[in-house]
Amino acid sequence: MAPILEIRSVVKRFGGVAAVNGVSLALEPGRIYGLIGPNGSGKTTLFNCITGVDQADEGEILFKGRRIDGLKPHQIFHLGMGRTFQVIRVFPELTALENLLVVTTAGYAEAERRARELLALVKLERLAGEFAGNLSYGQQKLVEFIRVLMTDPEMILLDEPAAGVNRTLLNELLDAVRRLRDQGKTVLLVEHDMKVVMGLCETVFVLDHGEKLAEGAPGVIQADERVIEAYFGR
C-alpha cells in the first residue's frame, strides 16, 4: 500500500543549527504512529514542517503522493491533514460551537449538525454556547481535538495530546484515537508520556538531535540501547 505520508531527507535550519537534519519517514494509512525523542530532538520542528508552519530547507514531504512542502497550512488542511497544538489554541472569544463552525466550508445547517454531533461525542453539548476561553483546560483540549475532526481529515497530527490531562480524560482521548484508526484514518502523535506512546502506537519513530535514531514497534524501541542512551544519558 502506498504510504500516506512520506518525508524524504528533510532538513530545517535555524540560524546555524539544523533542528531537523535529514530525516526520512514513511507512514502507511490506517495506523497510529508515535514520534518521540528527548527535548530539542526536532519533533516539533518536523511537525511544523509537515503542516506548513515552517518551510523545510531541503528535502520533500509528500501527502497522498503529492508534494506538500511549500504549501501553506490552510492548503494542507484542505488536502485532508489536520493538527492540534502543544499549547492549546482554541479561539477564546468564540464559543465552543463557533470554534467548530469556522473550520468547515460546508453550509451552515450541515456544519452546525456536525459540530453538535462532535460535541455530543465528547459530552460537551451543554457547553456549546460557552466562550472557549471560559472552559476548563481539559474541555478546551477536547474542543481542539474535535475541531480537527470537523472536516473528516484522513490524517491527524496530535502535538502532545496527553499534556496536562487527567487520567480519565486521557483514556477517553486515547479511545477516540483508536476509533479514528479503526475508521481508516492515520494518526501521528508527538508525545513525551511513554506509557501513552507504548500503549497506543503501532510504530514509533525516535528522533535525536534532528536525526532519526530508530524506528519500530514499541517493544523493540523500548529495548533499543541507542534510544535508552539518548534519553538517559551519555
Question: In the structure grid, which three cell numbers stand for residue 154, read together?
Answer: 484522513
Question: In the structure grid, which three cell numbers stand for residue 52, read together?
Answer: 506548513
Q: Which residue type, as a one-letter code, is found at position 33?
A: Y
Window of 94-102, 172-180, 188-196, 223-231 that interacts with another protein by CB under 8 A: 94-102
Window of 29-37, 101-109, 119-127, 223-231 that interacts with another protein by CB under 8 A: 101-109
**Which residue has cell 479514528?**
180
Tell me how crowded residue 118 is: count the other CB atoms within 10 A of its CB: 20
Strand-pair category, 186-190 with 203-208: unpaired
> Cα 122 to chain center, whole Å?
18
Residue from 6, 58, 98, 172 in contact with another protein (CB under 8 A): 98
Question: In the structure grid, which three cell numbers stand for residue 63, read together?
Answer: 501527502
- Shortest Å, Cβ 103 to another protein: 5
User: Could you tell me which residues are beta bridge partners of residue 13?
Assistant: 18
Q: Which residues within the stretch 14-73 sit at the binding site for another protein (CB under 8 A)?
A: 15, 51-53, 72-73
Radius of gyration of the chain (CA): 18
Q: Is 91 in the site for another protein (CB under 8 A)?
A: yes
Q: Which residues within the stretch 189-218 sit at the binding site for another protein (CB under 8 A)?
A: none
In sign, the C-alpha dihedral spanning 93, 98, 102, 103 is positive
Q: Which residue type, as a one-letter code, is found at position 123?
A: K
Q: Rank residues 69 and 206 by Cβ distance to another protein and give the closer one.
A: 69
Q: Rank residues 111 and 118 by Cβ distance to another protein and give the closer one.
A: 111
Residues 123, 73, 26, 210, Cα dihedral to 10° = -100
Q: Rank residues 151 and 222 by Cβ distance to another protein and give the closer one.
A: 151
Q: Which residues within the stretch 107-146 sit at the binding site for another protein (CB under 8 A)?
A: 108, 111
Q: Rank residues 52 and 218 by Cβ distance to another protein and give the closer one.
A: 52
For residue 52, give Cα distances in angstroms to 3, 70, 82, 89. Answer: 19, 7, 11, 17
Window of 25-33, 104-112, 194-202, 213-221 that interacts with another protein by CB under 8 A: 104-112
* Number of residues in contact with another protein under rule CB under 8 A: 29
Residue from 12, 114, 141, 147 in contact with another protein (CB under 8 A): 147
Residue from 78, 178, 179, 226 in contact with another protein (CB under 8 A): 78
The site for another protein (CB under 8 A) is made up of: 15, 51-53, 72-75, 77-78, 82-83, 85, 89-94, 98, 101-103, 105, 108, 111, 147-148, 151
